[in-house]
Structure 1
Amino acid sequence: MYRLIEDETQREILTAADIHGFFVEPSTAESESVIVIGSSLNPGKLPLSFEDVEFQVRDVQGKEIGAYYVGHVEVLGAKESGAIQDRVDLTVSLDGYALPYPYAGEIWRAWTYGPPAEPGLWKSLPAEAHESWLHVVQKAWFRSGRQAMLYGDADTYEIAGADLANIHSFYCALGEAVNGPGGYLGSNPSALADCLFNSRGKHKKLFRLAWRDFDVSRRNIDEEELDWALEVMRDYGVDIE
């Protein structure tokens, strides 16, 4: 599932089945150590350091679907893996590098079998996981070579306000509505503006957004965050109903 490489040379350092401590709770300022599960690298002398390192997420076919540049990695410990035969579990330091998306590892694991084939899978996750889903969507979208823009060509798209528990839910729903399951159309007002701006050349008029149960969204989403998103869409000519 994971592969560590030297970013400049693309030389493989190791492959691993999983990684613990990389995606953490937002309250965690940094991660003192990360456990790499089922590593193909079995270091002899420790500590062992690597520079200019990129973490890649790979699907079951070995195709890269996401990546994180982490820079310096130091291997501090190694022991026989309890999860995978003939592999080791490594304790590594990433100099405090950690990402505040605690559900991202679980979501990436599901995506290794393919991106979402049907809409609404993010709704089955708890509301606090919607930011992590959006993070994975954004990473996978750009790693696949797609751009920050609208790919659909419909005149009207619809989102269900009753499904939106926070502003991250909104961006999950909007991206999926206009660009299909796992689709992306921004993760904040600035990114949304970029997507709409880039879509102008392809579409003389953008689209109409039918926002059902908007009153529920208004209750659930932070007022300022919601107003920013609405302002951006209206500024770029999205007709909101």
Structure 2
Amino acid sequence: MVGDGSNCADARHKEGSWPASLGSVASALAGNAYLAVLAPSGAETGSYFVNGLTPESVQPSTMGPGLVDLTVGLWCDDLLPQSEGPWELIRTGRLDRRGLWQPLDPAGRLAWLSVALRHHACRNLPDSPAGSTFTLDGRYIVDEDSFYCALGEAVNGPGGYFGWNLDALDDCLRGRWGAASPFALDWQHSETAATYLSKSSTEAANSPTTFDRILEVLQESRIDVLLR
């Protein structure tokens, strides 16, 4: 279970791993840990590094004999507000079609990208063959984050990740993130996207726009960008 900011999270442990009495649990401090986000099957779908992990309550678990449900307080800088939405789609198997990020506000799109990054490592997706063509739908690109939401699902399907800033995009283009250079990017409705990405990437006069910088990074990695 995940939440926003300073959170409480449920964790399940074998009985005996934690003090059995609430009085003992409340005074215990576990410190730092990696918190795995699990599917109902128990498969890991992502993880976070958390700190200030403090047990708050413990009770027998409905998940099976010998297990306890442990409620803890924790702090996680990387768990962004609105992250629970995409994690719930992943947990329930409803992240099964493109465009589910489109109704989100700016904070929601950023959270979507953060979850997509953490989920990617657990998907074990191979790179598509060199020379593949990916179709990028530019109709819903209204800022830089929405560009990366659209690009991620163009390359890796619903909920896919393929960068969330220029440096990360450059890293993804080196391989092992779903696509191996060279490949073609069929950018449909690119004029619509360019309108929103036309803001200068710096405050300097005559500096390249975000749209220009994206094209530069793609083309430097031998990506054939087809603007339609």
Q: CA deviation at 1:66?
A: 0.4
Q: TM-score, structure 2 length as denominator?
A: 0.73
SS of the residue 1:184 aligns to:
coil
Q: Which amino acid aligns with 2:220?
A: D
Indicate conservation of the 8 Å contact 1:35/1:89, yes or no: no
> Aligned-pair RMSD on alpha carbons?
3.3
Residue correspondence of structure 1 range 29-108 to structure 2 within 5 A: 31=6, 34-36=7-9, 43-44=21-22, 45=24, 46-75=26-55, 77-78=56-57, 90=71, 92-94=73-75, 97-99=76-78, 101-108=80-87
Distance 1:223 1:239, change over 3 A: farther
SS of the residue 1:128 aligns to:
helix
CA deviations on 1:119-142 (whole Å, 9 max, x unpaired) are: 222224334311111111111111
Which consecutive unaligned segments of at least 5 residues does structure 2 have?
Answer: 60-67, 202-209
Q: CA deviation at 1:185?
A: 1.8
Among 187, 191, 194, the alignment partner of 1:211 is 187
Distance 1:239 1:38, change over 3 A: closer
- Which deviates more from structure 2 when the two are superposed, residues 151-160 or residues 45-54? 151-160
- Which residue in 1 is equivalent to 2:212? 227
Distance 1:90 1:60, change over 3 A: closer
- Which residue in 2 is equivalent to 1:238? 223
**How many percent of aligned residue pairs carry the same amino acid?**
25
Distance 1:137 1:164, change over 3 A: same
SS of the residue 2:174 aligns to:
helix
| Residue-pair matches, total | 203
- After the TM superposition, which parts of structure 1 deviate over 6 Å for at least 4 consecutive aligned residues? 38-42
Indicate conservation of the 8 Å contact 1:175/1:183, yes or no: yes
- Which residue in 2 is equivalent to 1:136? 115
Q: TM-score, structure 1 length as denominator?
A: 0.69
- Which residue in 2 is equivalent to 1:112? 91
Which consecutive unaligned segments of at least 5 residues does structure 1 have?
Answer: 1-17, 25-30, 81-86
Indicate conservation of the 8 Å contact 1:188/1:229, yes or no: no
Distance 1:203 1:127, change over 3 A: closer
Q: CA deviation at 1:176?
A: 1.2
Among 123, 128, 138, the alignment partner of 1:151 is 128
Query: For the residues of structure 1 that align with 2:151 and 2:108, how far apart are their CA atoms?
Result: 16
Indicate conservation of the 8 Å contact 2:173/2:180, yes or no: no
SS of the residue 2:29 aligns to:
strand
- Which deviates more from structure 2 when the two are superposed, residues 36-45 or residues 129-138? 36-45
Indicate conservation of the 8 Å contact 1:185/1:192, yes or no: yes
